[in-house]
């Protein structure tokens, strides 16, 4: 199935999401609702459900664009089959960036049946480099990306964000760390493109023991450094 996103002033991801949600579907897009789906898809398109359905560029069904000579053309698999000279343009548009090969005025993108619900999680870890100590945030990320994340099913997707300081009144769990020695923090944003359940978590745990052990060891290191920081602060 496909839906069409028009390149005009009101075209944005929120509008695309609302249109497909109305029919019980989802489409690949970014995390920011004000991003235009046309430029997003033409530039590659990295978003929260790409592990489930591919990049935005992978989901372009067709595109209409105005070329430098003023000609309006539509490219797609069917168009290339009818006119092989469009093959290079069709290939280049899917990831080559917006405005590179012409003015794209309309695209059609695939839509997928949406799960009953989508779950998200946020984890924040400090980066503490005081006196040459190991950085717990980096240790945790190393364990996460080298083991746990690779083992998770494609319904999971994560983004890592580095911040110089906690966001006030939003990252309450960071208040227990000494802001003078944190040296910033890393925030891990996760999305599970499926219905959350205890059974889902138990199923994941069956084939993630080694990765989970690595993550637990890194988390223990965080707590150890936090206690050490508190002792130094008191003294």
Q: Which position has the higher pLDDT, 111 or 177?
A: 111
The half-sphere exposure of 50 on its side-chain side, counting CA atoms within 13 A, is 16
> CA 99, 84, 44: angle at the middle one, nearest 5?
35
Please, are residues 79 and 90 in contact by the beta-carbon 8 Å criterion? yes
What residues make up the domain containing 60? Answer: 2-113
**Who's near 184: CB < 8 A, 6+ residues apart?**
126, 127, 137, 162, 163, 164, 165
198 and 102, same structural domain? no
The pTM assigned to this predicted structure is: 0.75
* pLDDT (average), residues 127-149: 67
Start-to-end CA distance of the chain, whole Å, equals 65
146 and 175, same structural domain? yes
Q: What is the CATH number of the domain that holds 37?
A: 3.30.465.10
What is the tens place of the pLDDT at every residue in 199-218? Answer: 877 776 665 555 555 555 65
135 and 59, same structural domain? no
Whole-number CA gyration radius for the chain: 22
pLDDT value of residue 97: 78
**With pLDDT > 90 as the criterion, what percentage of the chain qualifies?**
29
Neighbours of 160 (CB within 10 A): 13
Highest mean pLDDT among 132-136, 140-144, 205-209: 140-144
Give the residue from 88, 113, 138 where a domain finishes. Answer: 113
Number of domains in the chain: 2
Q: What are the tokens at 70?
A: 């003023």
Q: Which position has the higher pLDDT, 2 or 109?
A: 109
What is the tens place of the pLDDT at every residue in 165-195? Answer: 777 777 777 766 666 667 778 888 888 998 8
Q: Which residues pair with 5 in a beta bridge?
A: 107
pLDDT value of residue 96: 84
Give the residue from 98, 113, 128 where a domain finishes. Answer: 113
pLDDT value of residue 224: 65
178 and 124, same structural domain? yes
What is the tens place of the pLDDT at every residue in 48-63? Answer: 899 999 999 999 999 9
């Amino acid at each position: 199935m496909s839906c069409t996103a028009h390149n005009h002033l009101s075209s944005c991801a929120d509008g695309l999401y609302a249109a497909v949600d109305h029919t019980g579907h989802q489409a690949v897009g970014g995390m920011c609702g004000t991003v235009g789906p046309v430029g997003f898809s033409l530039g590659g398109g990295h978003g929260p459900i790409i592990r489930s359905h591919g990049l935005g560029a992978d989901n372009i069904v067709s595109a209409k664009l105005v070329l430098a000579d003023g000609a309006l053309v539509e490219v797609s698999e069917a168009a290339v089959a009818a006119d092989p000279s469009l093959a290079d343009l069709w290939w280049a548009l899917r990831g080559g960036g917006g405005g590179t090969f012409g003015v794209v005025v309309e695209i059609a993108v695939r839509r997928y049946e949406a799960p009953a619900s989508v779950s998200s999680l946020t984890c924040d870890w400090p980066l503490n480099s005081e006196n040459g100590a190991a950085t717990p945030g980096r240790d945790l990320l190393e364990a996460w990306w080298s083991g746990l994340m690779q083992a998770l099913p494609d319904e999971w997707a994560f983004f890592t964000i580095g911040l110089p300081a906690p966001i006030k009144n939003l990252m309450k769990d960071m208040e227990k760390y000494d802001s003078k020695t944190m040296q910033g923090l890393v925030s891990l944003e996760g999305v599970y493109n499926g219905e959350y359940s205890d059974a889902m978590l138990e199923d994941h745990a069956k084939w993630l023991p080694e990765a989970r052990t690595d993550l637990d060891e890194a988390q223990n290191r965080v707590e150890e450094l936090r206690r050490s920081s508190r002792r130094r602060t008191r003294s």
